Amino acid sequence: MTGAFQESFVLGGELPVRRLGFGTAQLTGPGYWGPRGAAGDAVGVLRRAVARGVTLVDTADNYGPYVAEELVAEALFPYPAGLVIATKGGVVRTSDSAWHVDGRPERLREMCEGSLRRLRLERIDLYQLHRIDPGVPLAEQLGVLDELRAEGKIRLVGLDTVTPRQLGEALELTRIASVQNRYHLRDRSSEQLLTVCEERGIAFLPWFPLGNGTLTADPACTAVAAARGVSAGQVALSWLLHRSPVLCPTPGTGTPDHLEENLDSGVVRLSEAELLRLG
């Protein structure tokens, strides 16, 4: 696997990005509700991420709600050339613990246009259906995204939290550039989906790439990290980068030190022996 390590990936065959990106959920408060702290702190983290070479920033309209998208624009607009902004729609928040899926075409259009305003964009590079609404035909949900793409408001379409069957159905309806599912060193339940992505050249953006913090205490990670003189989190992120060339993790954080640690994992090259030890 070490021989296959690649620094970059081309989203949808169109947009080159560094595989290690930045996610914005941790710039919001507990439950992804409200702001995390001073807006200036989040702005600083976002600017530092891009200064360190991040070219893929992943956000969503319901992080806050709206807070994360507004912070991205405040920190990074006007956007530097080559920076890819990805966002999501299809989920409505009414509290810090309430998530409501809404895939009605009129609501998806409204959400997309709201994201365009908040992000100060004329076209969103990657717009992801945050959840497939079981109460709305998939053809209608993807159909409105295709309409928005034809209108020049979306460039690429992605999906979040899908099964291989759902991805297959979606691919029969439109071009899919990316998926987001939970996947990390100790949760490989989406392995079949990863295989499909590899076969079709689809980016896989794993959420909770650090196991929501649990991998920092994983015995195998900590052992390899101790021998390397790096952190367990860096080992876990490096494992993802070695695991498959289509995996594009976007770990998020609200602190500068943790940001630097995450981004430094991109230069950790694991040996075959270390990969075997990690399982």
Q: Tell me: the pLDDT tens digits for 92-137?
A: 999 999 999 999 999 999 999 999 999 999 999 999 999 999 999 9
Q: Tell me: the pLDDT tens digits for 4-50?
A: 579 999 999 999 999 999 999 999 999 999 999 889 999 999 999 99
DSSP 17-69: EESS-EE-GGGB-GGGBSB-S-HHHHHHHHHHHHHTT--EEE--TTTBTTHHH
Q: CA-to-CA distance for 2 and 64, rounded, in angstroms? A: 38
Catalytic residue check, 127: no
Q: Tell me: the pLDDT tens digits for 183-242?
A: 999 999 999 999 999 999 999 999 999 998 899 999 999 999 999 999 999 999 999 999
pLDDT of 4 reads 55
Could you tell me if 268 and 234 are in contact, meaning their C-beta atoms sit under 8 angstroms apart?
Answer: yes
Q: CA-to-CA distance for 107 and 275, rounded, in angstroms? A: 45
- What amino acid occupies position 13? G
Nearest to 86 by CA among 165, 25, 5: 25
Nearest to 264 by CA among 215, 227, 228: 228
Residue spans of the domains in the chain: they are 16-210+245-253
Three-state DSSP at 246 gives: coil
**CATH superfamily name and code, 16-210+245-253:** NADP-dependent oxidoreductase domain (3.20.20.100)
Nearest to 252 by CA among 221, 212, 220: 212
Q: State the catalytic residue, choosing from 32, 63, 127, 183.
A: 63
